[in-house]
Chain A
Amino acid sequence: MEITVEVQSATRGSVDPHLSIHAYEAEGDLMLLHFGPQHPSTHGVFRMDLHLDGETIVKATPYIGYLHRGVEKLCEKLTYVQQTPIVDKNDYVAPMTNEQALNMAFEKLLNIEVPRRARYLRTIFAELQRVASHLVWLAAQSIDLGGALGGGSTLFLHCLRERELIMDLFEEVSGARFHYNTHTIGGNRHDLPDGWSKRAQAAISQIESRLSEYEDLSLGNQIFVDRMKGVGVLSAALALELGISGPVLRGSGVDHDLRRDAPYHAYDELEVQVAVEQGGDCLARAKVRFREIRESLRLARVAIDGIPEGPICSFKPTRQPTQVKLTGGQAYAALESPRGELGTFVIAGGDTPTSPYRLKIRAPSLHALAAIPYIVPGANVSDAVAILGSLDPIMGEVDR
């Protein structure tokens, strides 16, 4: 029997995703493993159907939609002002950037200028949120590699400890631990409490000092490096073609970061050093994220020092849901979320001027997951877990 499947186990390069598996006798030679939707390492409710030859994956078919909650339909029903807390729940590891991406689109539509202080606040929140999100990535990645009952969980719990520091800072500002609802159209709702900057600087110093420990525990750990190196190689061309952005794209050697290349918030006043790594494997992605944590801490520190005085919103935020009315127009605004280009495309108008006619959230995780059928075949089951972790998908924004 002729086997047409070409498994590149040495290079683990990209393999055609829709391989013909008919060369195998479906029942005899391959084992179909339903990996998810409820599985400890699928980062939420994600399902991969893995066709296994022994333990080598011959074909991986991703299935999404297990958390499709109809957010876009809900946004069409709600008014512009009401939507901020809804989109918080999309990328639930980085709620701040969701709010910002949404409100940036509405601001573009309304053509309002955001006060400079609010832009600085948004920058600080976005950068701290990036740190928190990447810490969750490292936590999840180490669980994937080391198991919940072993060294992985040690790194996991250490990362979550530092994340709590950032959540405490956000809680002070917004009153919520998790879904902040602190951004609004034209600026922010909550100003910084007294002494926040000082406490934030202290927290940043603490995270900075502990970060090298984590680097030792992960990148300095030979097992970690061995498990990540050469696994899940994603070429730059394929990454671009699939619309992948963020750390995954930069790990494939593409120098692209919206913070620098299409500045928003206060990034035009700050110098963003973009972390790029060659290789395109899981290790490169991990290195990018580590460098980004450092860079984000530095940016946050600079931004906190440079917060200007002034109003935090271009108009007074009210509880009036019908505050904003629009009769027409379309806008797309994007920012660099911890996972890549998070954008909001909105069409105004229709029968109700207070709510959008159509709203689409461009989620970076969705594009990252689309790489799975290309980069997983040829790996084995352990690698599949590592690859999925290194793509860092959040199913909330994939399925919306």
Chain B
Amino acid sequence: MTARHLPLVDEGALPYEHPLYETLLSIPGLSVVTAPLDALLTWGTKNALWVFPMATSCCGIELMAAAASRVDLDRMGTIIRATPRQGDVMVVAGTITVKMAPRVKLLWDQMPEPKWCIAMGSCAISGDFYRDLYPVVPGVDTFMPVDVYIPGCPPNPEALMHGLLRLQEKIGLRREGKLTQAEYRPGLLDLTKPRVGRLGDVTRDAGLSDAQLEDVSDMTRRDLAEESSEIVPRAEPVREAIASSSQEIEALLRDDFGVTEFPKDAAPLVSRGDHRRLAHRLRALGYAQLIYVVATHFPAKKTDPERFEVAYALRSIGRKSTVVAWRVALAADETIASIVGVFAGADWQEREQFDLVGVRFEGHPDLRRILLPADWSGHPLRKDYAADTAHPPWR
């Protein structure tokens, strides 16, 4: 069943955890009783692997599909339990990010022994093509032990079932104290060698596991500190009107907002002071939906100083829907007026741009990080931010 070219390894005998049984084992001459009992206990353990799904992304959908009619994990007695206390196998299905990793570790620690972990899919194994990106943990075996790796993006439901069968085989062998087949670990490949090192890697920093545990225990305090208590004002009421054609918009921009240039391949630039007023006007003209707020960073070059550009777009609703877009140029130290008061949807959009690019929105009632953890430093979508920035102790 497994790839036979992999070497046999000694993972250590799997102990029987129950104190009563340990006592029984310590009585000499009882092997007559314990040998068949061993077989029975092993049989029970192997055939009732309940899954605790650590489903974060795409692989989670395939995990669902594996429980569904076509594959039906219940055939081999595998059911999915939502609480870690009743799981035997944690199936890590999906990308684990720096923000999620302490929670995964905590949930793993909450599972009762004996427990196993299956890394399902290339994200859980090595981080896949996200592995060199700032928020992604390059494989869950950098902070918790993995028993079976199931490659794929995502693995088919059949592959998950194969993984569970391999785990059953492994459990049996380990209970008998025999050698098991080595896993085809990503650590064998230089390509996927993460900065923090995988568990069992000799070059791994000895203090790292402690640092990770410390981070886990600090998590709840950080969560509570993240809470915002500010009041966001509701959007101001705006006169409703019917949408207009783009020539009208051009005329509006030219006459009321002093825009002279209308480039063919980009939205017109609006001055920083006028931009909130423009949003207001457009909303009154029927552009009822905020489509995006995108900030872009332009680092300093030989002649140009560092600058930002924030692009906005609004859409009119209903038949012949049109989009109107504009841009605002900012110097490195300038802020831009928030349009949360005009469009409540700008709340998260502006927070995201603040988080990723670092543009400050003046008048935003609650300008906090939204995607990255609160204690993150730097703004990753700036051009001078290295994509593979480290974030100890997780990557």
User: Contact between B317 and A240 (Cβ–Cβ < 8 Å)?
Assistant: yes
Return A312 CB to nearest CB of chain B, in Å.
Answer: 25
A53-79 at interface with B (beta carbon < 8 Å): 61, 63-74, 76-77
Interchain CA distance A195-B191 in the complex, whole Å: 42
Does B251 lie at the interface of the complex (its beta carbon under 8 Å from any beta carbon of A)? no
User: Contact between A160 and B317 (Cβ–Cβ < 8 Å)?
Assistant: no
User: Contact between A67 and B100 (Cβ–Cβ < 8 Å)?
Assistant: yes
Given known pairs A63-B226, A69-B136, the reply for A362 and B291 (CB within 8 Å) is yes
User: Contact between A178 and B154 (Cβ–Cβ < 8 Å)?
Assistant: yes
Interchain CA distance A147-B125 in the complex, whole Å: 30
User: Contact between B58 and A89 (Cβ–Cβ < 8 Å)?
Assistant: yes
User: Contact between B58 and A70 (Cβ–Cβ < 8 Å)?
Assistant: no
User: Contact between A68 and B366 (Cβ–Cβ < 8 Å)?
Assistant: no
Q: Which residues of A contact B228 (CB under 8 A)?
A: 18, 61
Does B75 lie at the interface of the complex (its beta carbon under 8 Å from any beta carbon of A)? no
Return A74 CB to nearest CB of chain B, in Å.
Answer: 6
Given known pairs A164-B70, A240-B317, A260-B319, the reply for A73 and B380 (CB within 8 Å) is yes
Q: Which residues of B contact A163 (CB under 8 A)?
A: 65
Q: Which residues of B contact A298 (CB under 8 A)?
A: none
Does B259 lie at the interface of the complex (its beta carbon under 8 Å from any beta carbon of A)? no
User: Contact between A67 and B345 (Cβ–Cβ < 8 Å)?
Assistant: no
User: Contact between B317 and A49 (Cβ–Cβ < 8 Å)?
Assistant: no
Task: Name the contact of A178 in the complex, choosing from B62, B288, B315 (C-beta under 8 A).
Answer: B62
B255-295 at interface with A (beta carbon < 8 Å): 265-267, 288-292, 294
Given known pairs A37-B100, A241-B345, A261-B321, the reply for A92 and B58 (CB within 8 Å) is yes
Return A273 CB to nearest CB of chain B, in Å.
Answer: 13
User: Contact between A256 and B55 (Cβ–Cβ < 8 Å)?
Assistant: no
Contact with A along B130-171 (1 / 0, CB 8 A): 100111100000000000000001101000000000000000
Q: Which residues of B contact A177 (CB under 8 A)?
A: 156
Contact with B along A330-367 (1 / 0, CB 8 A): 10101000000101010100000000011010100011
Interchain CA distance A254-B232 in the complex, whole Å: 25
Task: Name the contact of B97 in the complex, choosing from A67, A76, A139 (C-beta under 8 A).
Answer: A67
User: Contact between A37 and B347 (Cβ–Cβ < 8 Å)?
Assistant: no
User: Contact between B69 and A160 (Cβ–Cβ < 8 Å)?
Assistant: yes
Given known pairs A161-B69, A345-B292, the reply for A68 and B372 (CB within 8 Å) is yes
Return A176 CB to nearest CB of chain B, in Å.
Answer: 9
User: Contact between B130 and A61 (Cβ–Cβ < 8 Å)?
Assistant: no
Q: How many residues of B contact A (CB 8 A)?
A: 82
Q: Which residues of A contact B204 (CB under 8 A)?
A: none
Q: How many residues of A contact B (CB 8 A)?
A: 78
Does A173 lie at the interface of the complex (its beta carbon under 8 Å from any beta carbon of B)? no
User: Contact between A70 and B366 (Cβ–Cβ < 8 Å)?
Assistant: no
Return A261 CB to nearest CB of chain B, in Å.
Answer: 4
A63, closest chain B residue (CB): B226
A1-53 at interface with B (beta carbon < 8 Å): 16-18, 20, 22, 34, 37-40, 44-45, 49
A328, closest chain B residue (CB): B265
Return A217 CB to nearest CB of chain B, in Å.
Answer: 15
Does A86 lie at the interface of the complex (its beta carbon under 8 Å from any beta carbon of B)? yes
Interchain CA distance A38-B365 in the complex, whole Å: 29
User: Contact between A77 and B387 (Cβ–Cβ < 8 Å)?
Assistant: yes
User: Contact between B345 and A343 (Cβ–Cβ < 8 Å)?
Assistant: no
User: Contact between B56 and A243 (Cβ–Cβ < 8 Å)?
Assistant: no
Does B190 lie at the interface of the complex (its beta carbon under 8 Å from any beta carbon of A)? no
Q: Which residues of B contact A179 (CB under 8 A)?
A: 58, 153-154
B84-126 at interface with A (beta carbon < 8 Å): 94-95, 97, 99-100, 103-104, 107
Q: List 26 A-B contacts (CB under 8 A).
A: A17-B232, A18-B228, A38-B103, A39-B82, A44-B55, A61-B228, A65-B373, A67-B94, A68-B372, A69-B95, A69-B135, A70-B133, A73-B380, A164-B65, A178-B153, A241-B343, A256-B321, A260-B319, A329-B266, A330-B311, A332-B291, A332-B323, A343-B291, A358-B294, A360-B292, A362-B292
6 new A-B pairs (CB below 8 Å) besides A17-B232, A65-B370, A177-B156?
A45-B100, A61-B228, A69-B135, A178-B61, A261-B320, A370-B347
Q: Which 5 pairs show the lowest CB-CB distances between chains A and B?
A: A243-B345, A65-B371, A92-B58, A70-B133, A329-B265
Which residues from chain B sit less than 8 Å from chain A, CB to CB? 54-58, 60-62, 64-65, 67-70, 80, 82, 94-95, 97, 99-100, 103-104, 107, 129-130, 133-136, 153-154, 156, 223, 226-232, 234-235, 265-267, 288-292, 294, 296, 311, 313, 315, 317-323, 325, 343-345, 347-349, 352, 356, 365-366, 369-373, 380-381, 387
